[in-house]
């Protein structure tokens, strides 16, 4: 996921090194390979402050049909480019939604959900606004604490608190973005969220999303590349037709 916090230069440096090697192998052409399964599925991307002011008409012309925009992190951070990215993508004709980067060790799920909804994470049933999304992944500030130093019980309790508050404020459960490894490790293979939360799975350099986190039998979004594609930011697919995605946006 596109992130805005302190370790990003180091993480992005590793990506750039890997990308440079790939570019040399491709004779200087740096493009992520689009999975074969993309043929009949809408393509999209996700962005944060790293992408700054995005050229949305170009993204639309390049095949983007939807985008998720980072809005907030913890209870203290707001993406300074959020308005240009969120409103600009809407004006260009993309379906768009907002996501929150969770830091469960900083404050409660309820507090972070309220901060998120107050600063861009709201939802309306207009058929063009995707439901809010919760980004759950390794601790970017301390690689020794992948699960933020929390027990599995506290982690699942935090997620439930965030989800309940988002639903109370917006009427929708958040989409959950994660990896299978993080989810199963940090929640203890919890199956408590799959029945009423859409899954946004992250898995790169693969022909498919692979084994899903505990409880889920299908995915809604798949982030198949983290920055090496033709669209600004990370590359994603929706698991269905464009009409199906519009219905999903409406809440049906």
Please write the tens of the pLDDT for every residue from 147-161. 999 999 999 999 999
Specify whether 142 is catalytic: no
Specify whether 234 is catalytic: no
Helix (H) or strand (E) holding 67: strand 64-73
Q: Is 89 helix (H, G, I), strand (E, B) or coil?
A: helix
Q: Is 217 in contact with 19 (CB distance < 8 Å)?
A: no
pLDDT at 40: 80
pLDDT at 143: 84
pLDDT at 44: 98
User: pLDDT by residue (tens digit) across 97-124?
Assistant: 999 999 999 999 999 999 999 999 999 9
Catalytic residue, chosen from 135, 139, 165, 225, is 135
- Of the chain, the percentage scoring pLDDT greater than 70 comes to 85
pLDDT at 26: 33
**Max CA-CA distance within the chain?**
52
User: Residues in the chain, how many?
Assistant: 252
pLDDT at 14: 34
Within 8 A by CB and 6+ apart from 229, the residues are: 31, 32, 34, 45, 235
CA distances from 95 to 145, 154, 164, 228 (A): 35, 34, 24, 22
Catalytic residue, chosen from 46, 73, 139, 165, is 46
Residue ranges in the chain whose pLDDT is less than 50: 2, 6-31
Catalytic residue, chosen from 137, 165, 225, 234, is 137
Specify whether 137 is catalytic: yes
Give the count of beta carbons closer than 10 Å to the beta carbon of residue 54.
22
Within 8 A by CB and 6+ apart from 32, the residues are: 224, 225, 228, 229, 230, 235
Q: What is the dihedral angle through the alpha carbons of 217, 223, 225, 230, rounded to the nearest 10 degrees? A: 130
pTM of the predicted model, to two decimals? Answer: 0.89
């Amino acid at each position: 996921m596109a992130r805005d916090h302190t370790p990003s230069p180091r993480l992005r440096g590793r990506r750039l090194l890997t990308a440079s090697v790939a570019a040399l192998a491709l004779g200087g052409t740096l493009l992520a390979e689009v999975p074969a399964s993309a043929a009949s599925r809408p393509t999209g991307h996700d962005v944060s402050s790293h992408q700054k002011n995005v050229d949305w008409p170009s993204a639309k012309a390049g095949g983007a049909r939807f985008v998720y925009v980072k809005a907030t992190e913890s209870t203290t951070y707001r993406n300074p480019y959020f308005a240009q990215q969120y409103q600009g993508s809407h004006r260009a004709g993309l379906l768009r939604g907002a996501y929150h980067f969770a830091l469960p060790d900083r404050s409660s799920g309820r507090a972070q959900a309220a901060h998120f909804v107050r600063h861009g994470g709201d939802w309306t049933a207009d058929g063009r606004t995707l439901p809010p999304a919760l980004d759950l992944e390794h601790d970017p500030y301390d690689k020794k604490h992948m699960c933020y130093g929390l027990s599995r019980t506290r982690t699942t309790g935090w997620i439930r608190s965030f989800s309940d508050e988002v639903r109370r404020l917006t009427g929708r459960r958040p989409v959950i973005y994660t990896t299978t490894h993080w989810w199963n490790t940090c929640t203890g293979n919890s199956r408590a969220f799959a029945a009423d939360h859409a899954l946004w799975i992250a898995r790169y350099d693969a022909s498919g999303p692979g084994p899903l986190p505990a409880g889920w039998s299908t995915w809604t979004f798949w982030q198949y590349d983290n920055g090496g594609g033709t669209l600004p930011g990370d590359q994603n697919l929706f698991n269905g037709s464009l009409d199906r995605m519009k219905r999903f946006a409406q809440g049906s």
